[in-house]
Homo-oligomer: A and B are copies of this chain.
């Protein structure tokens, strides 16, 4: 129950362990077609260029930047946590200039600041932001940010590593152009794969490039030859065949549950957790409107030793929760309820374990209040 990797279901692990076949085997090629369709569903997009990059989310991020930026370009980059900073690194390593829009960690990206930056830098060809900041459990208003970018004719690069499959994400409706995610958060697949999707406008810009993409491995023009729509697949690299079995199974499970039901499940378990935490006297660090249901930033009560509590949880309950990062380190915990891990039994386990650990660390908590609040919530919202 940390910030990911989340629990992987036995069904996905079983798919992962199927015998390895060739990356150009007709059976594997048809699995690739399925994965593409299922990813389009998950991203809510019709983008033809939708595929899993054969590497972790950081490589998916890099794929978006190196394909859309050339030396001399300008990108507006929003930072309200760790991953905005990584975006800046990517922009600068492309030989482009990053105009930073900074917000407090734990607050959403401020659309007014973005509006101003777009006005002040009309040459900016890209607006980049993180939809769901894994480092702070904060959502930003992606629809509004995409709209602003469109008005200023900038393409949108959007980080959805933690949002995909956990909260509403509408790539086509919002008009995001290059979107990357990870396999190991709300999809609950094994880590190591980064689903990406590029809009027709992004593809157009890639095809119009005069400067070769600086990464051979992540050059979408080459990757398209293997993952593209044509019946003839050109060898580019050897796909991580077994990880693709797992991703496929994960996406089939998402389709079986239904995207809206999965999002509702994440929301419901989040509310139960919050009810329990508040009954325990703890408070949430992020404003209610911007909280991520899949990643809960909780204030550590005054006088409680952050690391001691986390060590107890791991040692006595086999339960991992995340530490705060940056200015939030030592002041907050990050409790994940992602994908397969977003379940009633995990909420109950976490509340119970946390109450015990806080007691043991000398922090006074009303016994059983948290569990009662969560269980009452579940009862009041059961079908």
Residues of A within 8 A of B (CB): 2, 4-5, 7-8, 13-14, 16-23, 25, 54-59, 61-62, 86, 89-90, 92-94, 182, 184, 190-192, 212-217, 236-243, 246, 320
Question: In the complex, how many angstroms separate the beta carbon of A192 from the nearest chain B beta carbon?
Answer: 3
Of B16, B22, B55, B213, the contact of A320 (CB 8 Å cutoff): B22
A55 and B55 in contact (CB under 8 A), knowing A62-B217, A215-B62, A238-B5?
yes
User: With a CB–CB cut-off of 8 A, which chain B residues contact A190?
Assistant: 20, 240-243
B23/A215 in contact, CB under 8 A: no
Of B18, B19, B238, the contact of A56 (CB 8 Å cutoff): B238
B56/A191 in contact, CB under 8 A: no
Of B25, B192, B216, the contact of A90 (CB 8 Å cutoff): B216
Copies in the complex: 2
B56/A56 in contact, CB under 8 A: no
B19/A16 in contact, CB under 8 A: no
A191/B239 in contact, CB under 8 A: yes
B55/A54 in contact, CB under 8 A: yes
B89/A216 in contact, CB under 8 A: yes
User: With a CB–CB cut-off of 8 A, which chain B residues contact A243?
Assistant: 190, 192, 240, 242-243
Q: List 10 A-B contacts (CB under 8 A).
A: A13-B242, A14-B17, A23-B191, A56-B240, A62-B215, A93-B213, A191-B238, A191-B242, A192-B192, A214-B214
Question: In the complex, how many angstroms separate the beta carbon of A180 from the nearest chain B beta carbon?
Answer: 12
Question: In the complex, how many angstroms separate the beta carbon of A98 from the nearest chain B beta carbon?
Answer: 13
Give the complex CA separation of A27 and B282 in angstroms.
31
B214/A93 in contact, CB under 8 A: yes
User: With a CB–CB cut-off of 8 A, which chain B residues contact A94?
Assistant: 214
Give the complex CA separation of A87 and B54 in angstroms.
20
Across the A-B interface, give the 8 residue pairs with the lowest CB-CB distance, nearest first. A192-B240, A55-B55, A17-B17, A58-B237, A190-B242, A13-B17, A8-B20, A191-B238
B4/A238 in contact, CB under 8 A: yes
B16/A8 in contact, CB under 8 A: no
A22 and B8 in contact (CB under 8 A), knowing A62-B215, A190-B240, A216-B58?
no
Residue among A92, A243, A246 with most chain B CB within 10 A: A243
Give the complex CA separation of A90 and B94 in angstroms.
15
B238/A86 in contact, CB under 8 A: no
A93 and B2 in contact (CB under 8 A), knowing A54-B192, A241-B191?
no
B240/A191 in contact, CB under 8 A: yes
User: With a CB–CB cut-off of 8 A, which chain B residues contact A238?
Assistant: 4-5, 56-57, 182, 184, 191-192
Closest to A13 in B: B17
Give the complex CA separation of A12 and B342 in angstroms.
30
User: With a CB–CB cut-off of 8 A, which chain B residues contact A90?
Assistant: 216
